[in-house]
C-alpha cells in the first residue's frame, strides 16, 4: 500500500499569510494526487486534481505542485474561510489512500 504522509499535522496562521502543506508518497505516484478541504461538520470539497489542476470554482489563491513522491498545496493569502483541515489523496494504485490531514487554525 502507498502511504501518504502530510506535514505539518497542524499549523497556526493569520489572515493574509502564505501557507504551504506538504504531502509525501511512500512510492512514486506520477501526478495522481488530489487535495481536499474539509470544514468542521461538512463534507470534503475537492480543490485540486492531477497534482496541480484547480477544480472549477476554487479560488486562484490555492495552488498545487509536485510529481513522483513530493507534493505541496499552497494558499497564497489565507482567508477566514480557509481555516479547515486539508487532505491529500493518491489515486495511482489500490488501495486509494489519504494523508492524515493538516488542520489550519487561526493564530
Binding-site ranges for another protein (CB under 8 A) = 32, 34, 36, 38, 43-46, 49-50, 55, 87, 89, 91, 94-101
> Whole-number minimum distance, CB 107 to another protein, in Å?
23
Give burial (CB, 10 Å; 0-12/13-18/19+) of 101.
middle
Nearer to another protein, 10 or 77 (CB): 10
Contacts of 42 (CB under 8 A, 6+ apart): none
> Whole-number minimum distance, CB 15 to another protein, in Å?
26
Which residue bears the cell 505516484?
Answer: 29
Amino acid at each position: 500500500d502507498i502511504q501518504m504522509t502530510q506535514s505539518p499535522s497542524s499549523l497556526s496562521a493569520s489572515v493574509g499569510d502564505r501557507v504551504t502543506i506538504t504531502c509525501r508518497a511512500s512510492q512514486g505516484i506520477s501526478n495522481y494526487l488530489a487535495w481536499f478541504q474539509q470544514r468542521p461538520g461538512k463534507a470534503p470539497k475537492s480543490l485540486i486534481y492531477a497534482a496541480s489542476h484547480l477544480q472549477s470554482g476554487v479560488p486562484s489563491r490555492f495552488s498545487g505542485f509536485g510529481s513522483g513522491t513530493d507534493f505541496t498545496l499552497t494558499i497564497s493569502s489565507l482567508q477566514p474561510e480557509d481555516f479547515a483541515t486539508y487532505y491529500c489523496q493518491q489515486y495511482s494504485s489500490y488501495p486509494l489512500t489519504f494523508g492524515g490531514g493538516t488542520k489550519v487554525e487561526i493564530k
